[in-house]
Amino acid sequence: MANILVIHGPNLNLLGTREPEVYGTETLASINKHLAQMAEQNEVRLRTYQSNTEGNIISCIQQAASKDIQFIIINPGAFTHTSIAIRDAFLATRIPFIEVHVSNVYAREEFRSHSYLSDIALGVISGFGRNSYLLAFEAAIIHCNQS
């Protein structure tokens, strides 16, 4: 059974109330619920993790290798644009991953157009709200079934 980890970075615990004009009104709990339903339907194992702390996210990526995680979906939040350390954690563990954003980062401030992760990700999905996660999850399931 495929084992997929979804990591939500800083401030994503505030989804639902945080800048609703940008991020919508859906909460993180609701997004995780939809992911859990999809995991059940597709018979894959899902873990979700949220942290506002860069070091905790790095530890989570490092530990994923020993927990037999085959694929990671990550919304790194603002760490997307700043974190060489998260990039290095992915390079070290070599676990394939998809970078996800709720908003379309390319339609916003210029600094959001740069990511330290995109070029080493399997792919990037940005701008579809909750569906960014669900589309990434579908792609992750297909990838795990093929490998």
Q: How far is the CB of 130 from ligand DQA (least distance, A)?
A: 11
Candidates 34, 47, 112, 130; binder of ligand DQA (CB under 6 A) is 112
Cα–Cα distance between 91 and 45 in angstroms, integer? 23
- Would you call 102 exposed, middle or buried from its count of C-beta atoms within 10 A (0-12, 13-18, 19+)? buried
Provide DSSP, 43-77. T-EEEEEE-S-HHHHHHHHHHHHHTT--EEEEE-G
Candidates 64, 101, 116, 133; binder of ligand DQA (CB under 6 A) is 101
Site for ligand DQA in 12-71 (CB under 6 A): none
Candidates 6, 46, 73, 105; binder of ligand DQA (CB under 6 A) is 105
Residues that bind ligand DQA (CB under 6 A): 11, 75, 77-78, 80, 101-103, 105, 112
